[in-house]
Every structure is written in C-alpha cells, then in structure tokens.
Amino acid sequence: MRCSRRPAAIRAGGPAWARLAAITDATQIWAGIDHACAVRTAGTLSCWGFAGQGQIGAGSVADPEATVPPTEPKGISNARLVWTGGDRTCVVLSDNKGVCFGANTLG
C-alpha cells in the first residue's frame, strides 16, 4: 500500500509517496488529510500518519509533525468500521458501540 505524503514534507525535499508495511488483510480503509486507519480481518485497527493529537491511538507524540508508521491502538480488537477526520478517529465496534480518540474539540 502506498499513501501520499503531506505537502509540507514534499516541499522539504521528501518523496511524494510513503510505502507502508504490508497490510494485506484490510476490510476497510479511511484516509483523512493527515492520518489514515485500516480495519483488519481480525477486528484490529492499524493507523498511521501524523499523531500530534493522539488521533492514531498511540497517545500524543513529542513532535506533532512526525509521521508515525502503522500502529495498532490498544484495546480495539473488534472494530467493524473506522472514520478519520481532522485530528480525531472514531471506530464502530462489532457490538455497535463507538470509540473515538484524538482531539476532543467537538465534544
């Protein structure tokens, strides 16, 4: 899987594309502006990209401009759907409950 990179990273001389570790079992992928997540067949979630507000489930990172490689947010083992947007991620679980992480600016 390849994903485009943030325009600032390209202007700084970085490549336009970033190659991700093999994710061959995705049942759904949702890509926002700065981060993306994939629901995997086992119900786990893999998220990658910018994580300044904890939006990929890895907690806040020291450098908000750093790109975090695919990581599995802890405690999610029954994901059904994922949505990424702005500085947040929301997941619908197999029991139809929802979990969100990242910026809490919208309540």
Q: What is the pLDDT of residue 74?
A: 87
Terminal Cα distance for the chain, rounded: 33
pLDDT tens digits, 70-81 = 889 988 999 999
Q: How far apart are CA 30 and CA 86, in angstroms?
A: 12
CA dihedral 4, 18, 36, 40 (to 10 degrees): 130
Q: What is the pLDDT of residue 28?
A: 95
Q: How far apart are CA 75 and CA 80, in angstroms?
A: 14
Q: What is the pLDDT of residue 33?
A: 80
Q: What is the mean pLDDT of the chain?
A: 80
**Higher pLDDT, residue 102 or 2:** 102
pLDDT tens digits, 7-46 = 455 445 555 455 666 788 999 999 888 889 999 999 999 9
